[in-house]
C-alpha cells in the first residue's frame, strides 16, 4: 500500500469521526475502528458501506485494552492501571479491599460498576456483562452477601440496564454508569481531578 493511500485512509477516518460527532472520550476508539474498516476495505476491494459491523475485539494486547478503557473513562492510562489489571482474557480490579469500605452492599455496588466498566470499556464484553462474573468478583473480595446480592444489584437502575432471566441476568452500563465508574476510579486511586 502506498503512503498516499494510507494518508487518504487517515483523512477519511478523521472525516468519519468528525461527522459522527463522537464525545471526546470516544474519538480515539472511533478513529481506530474507522481506520481498521477502511484498511480492510482497501485490501479486500470492498467499499466501507459493504463491510459488516465488527464483532467485539477478541484478541487484544493488555495495553490496547487498557488504552480503550482509559479512553472510555476519560482517565490517564496510569490511573486505569492502578485500579485494573487487564490481561488478554480477563480483567481484575486491583484496588485494596480496605478502600471499598466496611458496608458489603456499598462494596458490592462499587465492584459491580467497576467490573462492568472494565469489561465493557476494554471490550472483553461486547455490551452486556454476566451477573455471575460480578457475583464471583464480590466473592473474591469477600463482600458477597448471597441473601441480599440480587436486591443490591437490582437497585442500580441508575447505572445499569438489565436483561435475561434471574438465573442468566446480564447488565449493561449506561452513560451515567460509566461516569460513576470514572468517579469511583478517581476516588479509589487518589486521582482527585
pTM of this prediction?
0.69
pLDDT at 76 over 80: yes
Q: Is residue 50's pLDDT more than 60?
A: no
Contact (CB, 8 A) for 130 and 165? no
> For residue 47, is pLDDT > 60?
no
pLDDT for the residue 191: 74
- The answer to whether residues 160 and 168 touch, using CB atoms and an 8 Å cutoff, is no
Say what the pLDDT of residue 135 is. Answer: 96
Return the minimum-mean-pLDDT range out of 4-18, 38-52, 89-103, 116-130.
38-52
User: Residue 124 pLDDT more than 60?
Assistant: yes
User: Which residue ranges form the domains of the chain, and what is each CATH number?
Assistant: 3-50 (no CATH), 62-189 (1.10.10)
- Dist CA 168 CA 87 (whole Å): 25
Q: What is the pLDDT of residue 158?
A: 95
Q: Which class for 173: exposed (0-12), middle (13-18), buried (19 or more C-beta within 10 A)?
A: buried
Residue 70: per-residue pLDDT: 93
Amino acid at each position: 500500500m502506498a503512503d498516499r493511500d494510507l494518508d487518504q485512509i487517515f483523512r477519511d477516518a478523521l472525516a468519519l469521526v468528525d461527522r459522527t460527532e463522537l464525545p471526546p472520550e470516544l474519538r480515539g476508539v472511533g478513529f481506530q475502528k474507522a481506520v481498521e474498516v477502511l484498511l480492510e476495505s482497501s485490501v479486500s476491494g470492498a467499499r466501507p458501506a459493504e463491510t459488516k459491523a465488527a464483532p467485539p475485539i477478541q484478541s487484544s494486547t493488555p495495553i490496547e485494552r487498557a488504552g480503550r478503557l482509559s479512553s472510555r473513562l476519560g482517565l490517564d492510562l496510569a490511573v486505569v492501571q492502578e485500579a485494573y489489571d487487564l490481561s488478554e482474557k480477563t480483567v481484575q480490579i486491583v484496588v485494596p479491599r480496605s478502600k471499598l469500605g466496611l458496608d458489603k452492599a456499598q462494596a458490592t455496588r462499587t465492584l459491580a460498576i467497576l467490573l462492568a466498566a472494565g469489561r465493557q470499556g476494554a471490550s472483553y464484553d461486547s455490551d452486556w456483562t454476566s451477573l455471575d462474573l460480578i457475583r464471583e468478583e464480590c466473592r473474591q473480595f469477600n463482600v458477597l452477601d448471597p441473601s441480599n446480592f440480587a436486591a443490591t444489584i437490582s437497585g442500580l437502575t441508575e447505572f445499569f440496564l438489565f436483561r435475561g432471566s434471574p438465573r442468566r441476568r446480564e447488565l449493561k452500563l449506561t452513560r451515567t454508569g460509566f461516569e460513576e465508574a470514572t468517579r469511583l476510579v478517581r476516588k479509589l486511586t487518589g486521582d482527585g481531578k
